[in-house]
Structure 1
């Protein structure tokens, strides 16, 4: 991880990312955003996102993931509420799973549960990752009854449990 951080800082210091034509491609920029996030360098991740000429769902999800990886959980909800309209995108399953994970990491389990309801209202079907994140967090925090309700919802939605479930 230290080597990755050093390499990204060197790239940033030399302004090396500007040398590559691929930086204007969303996939390349999204990978940079994710790498900065994994390295705990959220400010750099946001700078790449902010300077992108064209931002879409891929870069949005990368930024949200960078928030979680860099433990900037408090930023996730604001970005989730603000950016989709600004970018003219609709959050997808990855977006919702990231927000649910962030709420769980913050200990805001009721907000995470409400996000499950919101995603269903928007027509986004939860998957085993969605349910496992909620199950783990509710049970870890001693809210087994709520975990059982999540399990019931999982069964109702015909989402097959895996070994983690």
Structure 2
């Protein structure tokens, strides 16, 4: 059975919050949503059916336990079938409950139905700033960045809509994801003329875009603009700078920023991955050790990537230590990485340690024990 709950839950928590909140948290770059739909192919081209599914979801407020367990087990003694698992369209004679306009417009984006989103917007006589924000963000979700500036110029005047901070941040996000980060300065100028004050999110989006487009010559200009707007860099801004510099292979410059900030685990995570990316494993190990001495714990991906590069570089003994720490936190790398580590340990006469690792993995994942037969 095709479960609708997880995709809808992801949309509601990540995408919708962008439209309804002025949070100052940075907006990390998201992978393109093009070609990825939360609906199966047969449903994808049936807007009314999508709306009926979305309506059943957003017009109901189930307890958190139902949302988190619906795909795996039924809720305790429900009075009727769970609305989140509604797979059949509503009967034609049954009127749909009221649904905020911006929700279907937004959901047309990841479904690659942008024409329907635009048609829905244009057909409505009472569009709001929120529905405009939804349409612009639907363009981002469907990877149609080129339409965003045109819609931003045309729709507010035609429908007498006043763009707000979220509208401008969405425009900035689209420009920066489309390789036009230098245009961010024009957006900031317009915001000043319209009396819309940019926030930390605005500058973080633009800053990440400048680094991605390798317009490092404009970074200082943007930082000065931040000061002009009384928007002082926080740790999240520094982490974006560290991350983007590491992606460009300028890890030394990224580490220099630590003198201006109090790094957290995310900062060290970016540096470790950066040094691994330029094949400087000694520096990656040094940063890893410094992070541990500070008592900071990264996410599992940092451990997995470091183990992978250490094995690739032949440093199996250090990789073993990182692997033990990772497994001690119940984070086990993928089989291919573990296999490479085990084979490497055997090659440097550490067969006992290799057997110990295999035994722990088999104990934790008994269903995959057969994968280790060849190694043993």
Provide the C-alpha distance between the structure 2 equivalents of 1:51 and 1:16, rounded to a whole number of angstroms: 16
* Partners of 2:43 and 2:50 within 8 A in 1: no
Residue matched to 2:165: 93
Structure 1 segments, 4+ long, off by >6 Å, are none
Please, what TM-score do these two structures have when normalized by structure 1? 0.84
Residue matched to 1:125: 197
Alignment of 1:9 with 2:44, yes or no, is yes
RMSD across aligned C-alpha pairs, in angstroms? 2.4
Deviation readout 1:66-96 (Å, 9 max, x if unpaired)? 1111111111111111111111121111111
Q: 1:138 aligns with which of 187, 194, 210?
A: 210
Alignment of 1:42 with 2:118, yes or no, is no
- Summarize the Cα distance change of 1:95–1:70 in structure 2 as closer, same or farther, 3 Å threshold: same
* Partners of 1:134 and 1:147 within 8 A in 2: no
Alignment of 1:147 with 2:219, yes or no, is yes
Residue matched to 2:126: 54
Residue matched to 2:324: none
State the structure with bigger RCO (CA 8 A, min sep 6), 1 or 2. Answer: 1
- In structure 2, the gaps of 5 or more residues are 1-6, 8-35, 53-91, 238-376
Deviation readout 1:77-116 (Å, 9 max, x if unpaired)? 1111111111112111111111111111121223222111
Which stretch shows the higher mean deviation, 32-41 or 148-157?
A: 32-41
- Summarize the Cα distance change of 1:139–1:15 in structure 2 as closer, same or farther, 3 Å threshold: closer
* Partners of 2:106 and 2:134 within 8 A in 1: yes
Provide the C-alpha distance between the structure 1 equivalents of 2:157 and 2:37, rounded to a whole number of angstroms: 37
Report the structure, 1 or 2, having the larger helix content.
1
Provide the C-alpha distance between the structure 1 equivalents of 2:233 and 2:50, rounded to a whole number of angstroms: 46
